[in-house]
Structure 1
């Protein structure tokens, strides 16, 4: 038996007040300080928000965490203890206990931890206690109850709107579309699984269904085989681009070709074996059968995905994207390093970024760990005639949760009903020596991911393997605004 958290503000907040320990009248009235009831309501509101943000994944959280009632209960008890033992509210202490220990103890992604800290700072701050008109969100309806006591608080909750705008969570209105897409995706996944079972149960007899499926798989395999180039001749590439201490990009090209060769070998071998298995030349193993089923429903086979770069595309889009990536590397080999690099075309994007930092660090003899990255739009086409010496020009970057204005180079809000927008110009990424006094302009430290899913395997750096770098984007509003928006590039 499981007890899942209720959905919606009206269902969630009353439960917090009708459950232990808040429901215990002796406990509730054990603190007479005005800050107690106001901070308690803010904490319960926060508890609701962190749970409901999961529905906006990945705008809400990179990883959907299982926050539950035990997190709220321990935070409530610690809040009461802190208010009882100290004359003034220890905001730093309760922020740390709640944000880093109780709720933060479940958070494994470093960028999610930043979101949690910024979200909690809205509810654990002096204005919650001192400002009677304080609002808990950007929506005017959500404030602190004007009167104390269980009954008055529950009445205040009852008067709140039935439906909540994404703005309550700090997310743009487009978040509703993201939430609806996330809710319908399991339904379509179930349909595809049903189709897989129907296909799997149709083989072996003399009927026409299995034969038609076999013909379709063969046709798809032949089409992909015809489009795919042969693996790169790495030895030839090494002769033209030998290892060079001053030019790490040559190493990047060779390493990328080796990675894509591994993927190509798996793809070409599985295509050949699937066709042989259909003809009866080899045994139809479970892996080959799974590959055939994936081809029928336009899904990337599991054996390919295991050796592949992260991708959310269906089979047709994946194959076209792979071919485009291979052509990008082939042109690099034939014509030399391009002036503008296609950032989305790298198998392991981090190696490209590291190579750029290595070139800069070796040229100017500075420690590589003291370098940061600046981001600038290239609005003058004449600049793109030659490669820059200290930076790189890149394209193929998209943004979710915000836009980049090509004139002001600042971050405005997303257009209604537009989830993703391409950055409207070539981008110049420049290594800069980081200084202790920070930067002179308001900026948002924007994470970049390989795919919009953001989720990946947690690495030793406390970042997802889907994570690439963080870009500093100029902004006229505080960074917290874009953090809660879930804004990112990919």
Structure 2
């Protein structure tokens, strides 16, 4: 479980365990459901005096409930169904024979060999440590926290590039019969034929994350190219106006480095890193190309997706998702550091008495502490206050 379960349980208690619950006309069903179901069951607390009557009442409960009963958007049911269907198709795919024979067409081995040739041709050139160290020195050197972060990210990407290049080269040799087809190479062949990412391209033997998780080989390789482009642009042209947070191995490290830089800028005010918290604001820019200059302190972030809600660019606050639209892009997010005492005052000025919805940001759709990055404050309305969005399960995702 993740630590936000505690928040969810607290909110259920605040919303449901109240004096109103005991009123005769009280119902747990939403007063204005998004999707109205004819003759929908009404959950109430009956005023029976005998145990048997309660049991009979419970037996009338429907087998399947609308997600809105639990505070979720109706789209949550679609998300569940899609996940079930994908799991079924994946299982069916794994049952298909993986033999090497062919019926007169192109063999599996030839198909994968050609794909390996294509990927090797598109693979970025290796990073030379002396070269990128020299470029980082021109950016201010290793005393700048964000430069240290960039150095570490490049090292990790180079490890991925080296591994992919070596495995693809060895796979081609194995297909030609020049080296032994090991279990690792066989798995690579099978995965590539099915357009999947080989398991050990994503994880180490101990289960730690080696690269990044994406459902198809095409998406995974495109991410590699986009990450490489972000790093090389940063090295050659200086710090970008807006960062693609999804493209980092360690997004938490990026934010920590930013916070260290902001803390140093406020050295005269005696800011301590432990007392500096994140301050976030959604900007009017929709795309990174619209950001012409970086902020004076902090960073702009793009590429985040809202899950469980949408965002009104005109009104600047959270709104309900459109039916069958599971994810929407968030406009550019400004993230900086602020002294804890000053941030409380800033929240009141930005969000009023309602306060913000503290939206968790995750690296992946798997909402666990392992992939949690930080909280972004998003504006709400009086009708749709923070607790409502928490029950909706609203989160920001780097990858959908």
User: Given the two structures, how large is their TM-score scaled by the length of structure 1?
Assistant: 0.70
Which of 88, 91, 114 is the equivalent residue of 2:7? Answer: 114
Check whether the contact 2:8–2:391 (CA below 8 A) recurs between aligned residues. Answer: yes
Specify whether residues 383 and 231 from structure 1 end up closer, same or farther in structure 2 by C-alpha distance, changes over 3 A only.
closer
Structure 1, residues 336-384: CA drift from partner, whole Å, max 9, x if none? 1111112221121111101110000111121122122222232279993
Within the alignment, does 1:337 sit opposite 2:235 as a pair? no
Specify whether residues 229 and 380 from structure 1 end up closer, same or farther in structure 2 by C-alpha distance, changes over 3 A only.
closer
Equivalent position of 2:35 in the other structure: none
Within the alignment, does 1:432 sit opposite 2:338 as a pair? yes
Separation (CA, whole Å) in 1 of partners of 2:133 and 2:27: 62
Equivalent position of 1:480 in the other structure: 387
Specify whether residues 380 and 180 from structure 1 end up closer, same or farther in structure 2 by C-alpha distance, changes over 3 A only.
closer
Check whether the contact 1:166–1:173 (CA below 8 A) recurs between aligned residues. Answer: yes
Q: What is the RMSD of the two structures over their aligned residues, measured on CA atoms?
A: 2.4
Q: Structure 1 residue runs of 4+, over 6 Å off?
A: 380-383
User: Deviation at 1:246?
Assistant: 6.2
Report matched runs for 1:97-246 at 5 Å. 108-129=1-22, 131-138=23-30, 141-161=42-62, 163-195=64-96, 198-199=97-98, 202-203=99-100, 208=103, 212-242=107-137, 244=141
Specify whether residues 326 and 245 from structure 1 end up closer, same or farther in structure 2 by C-alpha distance, changes over 3 A only.
closer
Within the alignment, does 1:360 sit opposite 2:262 as a pair? yes
User: Deviation at 1:186?
Assistant: 2.5
Count matched residues: 367
For the residue of structure 1 that corresponds to 2:10, the secondary structure is helix
Equivalent position of 1:414 in the other structure: 321
Which sections of structure 2, spanning at least 5 residues, go unmatched?
32-40, 204-208
Specify whether residues 472 and 185 from structure 1 end up closer, same or farther in structure 2 by C-alpha distance, changes over 3 A only.
same
Within the alignment, does 1:396 sit opposite 2:293 as a pair? no
Check whether the contact 1:377–1:406 (CA below 8 A) recurs between aligned residues. Answer: no
Separation (CA, whole Å) in 2 of partners of 1:389 and 1:244: 20
Separation (CA, whole Å) in 1 of partners of 2:343 and 2:53: 48
Separation (CA, whole Å) in 2 of partners of 1:278 and 1:190: 27
For the residue of structure 2 that corresponds to 1:411, the secondary structure is strand
Specify whether residues 437 and 134 from structure 1 end up closer, same or farther in structure 2 by C-alpha distance, changes over 3 A only.
farther
Check whether the contact 1:298–1:315 (CA below 8 A) recurs between aligned residues. Answer: yes
Specify whether residues 310 and 411 from structure 1 end up closer, same or farther in structure 2 by C-alpha distance, changes over 3 A only.
same
Within the alignment, does 1:318 sit opposite 2:224 as a pair? no
User: Deviation at 1:229?
Assistant: 0.9
- Indicate the structure (1 or 2) with the bigger Cα radius of gyration: 1
User: Deviation at 1:426?
Assistant: 2.1
For the residue of structure 2 that corresponds to 1:300, the secondary structure is coil
Equivalent position of 2:184 in the other structure: 287
Which sections of structure 1, spanning at least 5 residues, go unmatched?
1-107, 456-462
Separation (CA, whole Å) in 2 of partners of 1:468 and 1:261: 24
Structure 1, residues 93-132: CA drift from partner, whole Å, max 9, x if none? xxxxxxxxxxxxxxx3111232233224444444334x23
Judge which range, 391-400 or 149-158, deviates more.
149-158
Check whether the contact 1:325–1:346 (CA below 8 A) recurs between aligned residues. Answer: yes
Specify whether residues 210 and 190 from structure 1 end up closer, same or farther in structure 2 by C-alpha distance, changes over 3 A only.
farther
Specify whether residues 431 and 147 from structure 1 end up closer, same or farther in structure 2 by C-alpha distance, changes over 3 A only.
same
Check whether the contact 2:136–2:142 (CA below 8 A) recurs between aligned residues. Answer: no
Specify whether residues 187 and 313 from structure 1 end up closer, same or farther in structure 2 by C-alpha distance, changes over 3 A only.
closer
Separation (CA, whole Å) in 1 of partners of 2:322 and 2:69: 19
For the residue of structure 1 that corresponds to 2:214, the secondary structure is coil
Separation (CA, whole Å) in 2 of partners of 1:158 and 1:444: 37
